[in-house]
Amino acid sequence: MRSIFIFLCLVSFNSLAKESCEIGDVGLDSESSKVEELFYVGTCHYRNQDYDKAATNWSALISNAETSDSDNELIISANNNLGFLLFFGFGVKQDQKQALKHWSYAISLGHTESEFHLCHAYADKEQPTFNLSKASMHCKKAQLIYQGIEEPDEDEKLILKKINSYLKGLE
Give a three-class secondary structure readout of 73-103: HHHHHHHHHHHHHHHHCCCCCCCHHHHHHHH
Side chain identity at residue 60, one-letter code: A
CB atoms within 10 A of CB 14: 9
pLDDT recorded at residue 148: 95
Residues of the chain with pLDDT under 50: 1-15
- For the chain, the structural domain boundaries read 20-111, 112-171
Q: Cα(152)–Cα(171) distance, rounded to whole angstroms?
A: 26
Using CA atoms in the order 39, 15, 93, 54, what is the torsion angle rounded to 10 degrees? Answer: 0
pLDDT tens readout for residues 89-101: 999 999 999 999 9
CATH number of this structure's domain 20-111, picked from the four choices 1.25.40, 1.10.287, 2.60.40, 3.40.50: 1.25.40
pLDDT recorded at residue 132: 93
